[in-house]
Amino acid sequence: MQKHHTTRCTLMVLIVMMIIQGCAVQSQPEVNVYSSRKEALIKPMLDRFTEVTGIRVNLVTGKDDALIERLKAEGAASPADVLMTVDAGRLYRAKSQGLTQAIDSPLLQQSIPPNYRDPDNHWFGLSLRARPIMYAKDRVNPASLTNYASLTTEQWRKKVCIRSSGNIYNQSLVASMLASESTAAVEQWAAALVKNFARQPVGGDRDQIKAVAAGLCDVAVANTYYLFGMLQSEDPTEAAVAQKVGVFWPNQQDRGTHVNVSGIAVTKAADHVGHAQRLIEFMIQAESQNWFASANGEYPVVPGTAVHPTLAEWGEFRKDAINLSRLGELNNEAVKIMDRVGWP
């Protein structure tokens, strides 16, 4: 009899322990992230956030537009607390479709310059992505370059490489011009630029850089972190290709070089708003900002943060100071212009 009583007690203790452990697992704080950033570029930082705060991060990755469509389809039932994208225009789109919400964070408002965050605090920039002119060091004197408009002159006839009009980075570049110039002026520039294309747009930014190095064109417009990645490549051939290409900062005498952001927002459907806000605030701390600079060669969004030595070698530059929400507001007009001038 005593033996059976002991067995029952043991079983009850085990059951109670399993229930306690199950509750502990269920009660562990968590935050769900939808991100278009490659997992390798953010997972270590998210793991560090968990280590520091005890908040588990559940990560879902995908293409920007697909994630926005997923949020729309899921509606109020979406499990996502956070949306991370690589373009301010898409953040604007998510906000305009009612997929994000404002958060009140004095830390974010004090740390991030106003032009790199939504005026209504729906989204916040995490890192800057510059899109300057790149040139063949052996064939181009950078003194012959001045601004984006200079790429439309006879000097660069059939010598310009750039991605297609379907690329969001180019759409945002054109949108940034619309923020400073008339529609007619921007359309005239785009039409002249198309005439100077060395080839039909093909591939991504790395392909434009490789085309410059190979002599298919003399100049290209591309994001600097792509060149950074090639220079840091373990493939000596790719690194050697990148060494042939220089960086020129256009429009230093007027509005400045076009920049965009990778950014983040709390979703409208978020169940863990507090944890989501803590994650965003973690990402603008020095440790996280240094990660963006070292892991992907991006520029920190928080002023005063050191950049990677490779970026420092390219020198400081004047950045276009428009509020990047304008990139989203003007995206539709930018796309129409690119279509009208026959930008493939």
In angstroms, the CA 43 to CA 51 distance is: 12
Question: Which residues contact residue 116 at a Cβ distance below 8 angstroms, ignoring those fewer than 6 apart?
Answer: 124, 125, 128, 261, 301, 324
**Quick one: which of 254, 260, 251 has its CA closest to 151?**
251
Averaged over 163-188, what is the pLDDT? 97
> What are the domain boundaries of the chain?
25-127+261-307, 132-257+324-340
If one looks up domain 132-257+324-340 in CATH, what number appears?
3.40.190.10
Residue 165 corresponds to which tokens in the numbers above?
């009009």
Q: How confident is the model at residue 130 (pLDDT cuts 50, 70, 90)?
A: very high
Helix intervals (H) in 179-272: 183-195, 205-214, 224-231, 236-243
Are residues 161 and 208 in contact, defined by beta-carbon separation less than 8 angstroms?
yes
In angstroms, the CA 245 to CA 218 distance is: 9
- Give the pLDDT of residue 3: 47
Question: Which residues contact residue 268 at a Cβ distance below 8 angstroms, ignoring those fewer than 6 apart?
Answer: 76, 98, 99, 100, 101
- Give the pLDDT of residue 8: 54
Are residues 169 and 260 in contact, defined by beta-carbon separation less than 8 angstroms?
yes
Helix intervals (H) in 28-63: 39-53
Type of residue numbered 294: S
Report percent pLDDT > 70 for the chain: 92
pLDDT digits (tens, 9 = 90+) for 179-216: 999 999 999 999 999 999 999 999 999 999 999 999 99
- Give the pLDDT of residue 142: 96
Sole residue written with tokens 């300057």: 132
pLDDT digits (tens, 9 = 90+) for 216-267: 999 999 999 999 999 999 999 999 999 999 999 999 999 999 999 999 999 9
**Angstrom distances, CA of residue 328 to CA of 75, 88, 302:** 22, 7, 22
Averaged over 54-58, what is the pLDDT? 98
**Quick one: which of 178, 336, 318, 194 has its CA closest to 259?**
318
Are residues 310 and 232 in contact, defined by beta-carbon separation less than 8 angstroms?
yes
Residue 122 corresponds to which tokens in the numbers above?
């729906």
Averaged over 145-157, what is the pLDDT? 97
Domains 25-127+261-307 and 132-257+324-340 share a fold: yes
Q: How confident is the model at residue 134 (pLDDT cuts 50, 70, 90)?
A: very high
Helix (H) or strand (E) holding 326: helix 325-329
- Give the pLDDT of residue 41: 84
Cα-Cα-Cα-Cα dihedral of 105, 110, 112, 115, to 10°? 100
- How far, rounded to the nearest angstrom, does the alpha carbon of residue 154 sit from its chain's CA centroid? 33
In angstroms, the CA 296 to CA 145 distance is: 27
25-127+261-307 placed in CATH 3.40.640.10:
no
**Angstrom distances, CA of residue 316 to CA of 97, 113, 204, 290, 306:** 37, 17, 25, 17, 12
Higher pLDDT: 81 or 39? It is 81
Q: How confident is the model at residue 175 (pLDDT cuts 50, 70, 90)?
A: very high
Residue 166 corresponds to which tokens in the numbers above?
């379907």
Q: How confident is the model at residue 25 (pLDDT cuts 50, 70, 90)?
A: very low
Kindly report the average pLDDT of the chain as a whole number.
Answer: 93
pLDDT digits (tens, 9 = 90+) for 275-302: 999 999 999 999 999 988 888 899 999 9
Whether the pLDDT of residue 6 is over 70: the answer is no
Cβ neighbours, 10 Å, residue 96? 13
SS3 232: coil
What is the pTM for the complete model shown?
Answer: 0.89
Averaged over 89-100, what is the pLDDT? 96
Averaged over 14-28, what is the pLDDT? 50
Judged by phi (left if over 0) then psi (alpha if -120 to 50, else beta), residue 121 lies in left
- Give the pLDDT of residue 95: 98
Whether the pLDDT of residue 4 is over 70: the answer is no
Q: What are phi and psi of 23, to 5 degrees?
A: -65, -40
pLDDT digits (tens, 9 = 90+) for 318-335: 999 999 999 999 999 999
Sole residue written with tokens 């570049």: 173
